[in-house]
Amino acid sequence: MPGTRTTTGHFTFADWQERVIGPGEEANPRLAHASVRNTFSGGIEAAGTICEYTIVYVTQKTGSFAGMELITGRLDGREGSFAVEERGWFGEDGAVHCTFEVVRGSESGELAGLWGKGGFTAHHGEATVPYRFEYEVE
C-alpha cells in the first residue's frame, strides 16, 4: 500500500471494570463485559481512551473478546480522533493477543481519511504493552 507508515509505542490500562453477564462467575462458557480506559504513548498519544469489550471465557483462564475503542489525541503529530475495532484471544499463559482496525468514517480532525490496522500482545503482569500500527491518511 503506497504511503503506508508504521508507528509503535506503548499503552497502559488506566482503568478496567469487568462484570459477568451470564450465566455465572464459575460457569463456562460465560459472557462478561469490560469497560476500559487506556493511556497511549509513542506514535499514538492519547490519555483516557474509551474502550468496551465483550468477553467469552471458555475456561477460567482462556477465551476470546471483541471490542471498540475510541482514541482521541495525536497520531505522529496529527490531532484528531478515530475508533478501532478489536478482536483477540487469551490463553493459559495469561498472554492477550489482539488485532485492531480503524472503523471507516470514524476519523476526525487532522486524521480524517485515516485507514490502518495493528496489534499487540500483552503478557500477564506487565505494566505497559507495546503496540504496532500501520496506517495511511488519504
19-36 pLDDT per residue, tens = 999 998 889 999 999 999
pLDDT top residue among 129 and 138: 129
Give the per-residue pLDDT at 1: 46
Angular region, 80: left φ>0, alpha ψ -120 to 50, beta rest: left
Report the percent of the chain where pLDDT is more than 70.
99
Q: Are 96 and 66 a contacting pair, CB within 8 Å?
A: no
What residue spans define the domains of the chain? 5-136
With a CB cutoff of 8 Å and minimum separation 6, the contacts of 40 are 9, 10, 11, 46, 47, 49, 71, 73, 131
What is the residue whose three cell numbers read 508504521? 6
Q: What is the mean pLDDT of residues 128-138?
A: 96
Q: What is the CATH number of domain 5-136?
A: 2.40.350.10
Residue 1 has a CB neighbour count (10 Å cut-off) of: 8
57-104 pLDDT per residue, tens = 999 999 999 999 999 999 999 999 999 999 999 999 989 999 999 999
pLDDT top residue among 14 and 17: 17
Give the per-residue pLDDT at 101: 98
**What is the spatial distance between Cα 12 and Cα 74, in angstroms, rounded to a whole number?**
16
Give the per-residue pLDDT at 2: 59
Q: Which of 101, 109, 67 is nearest to 84 (CA)?
A: 101
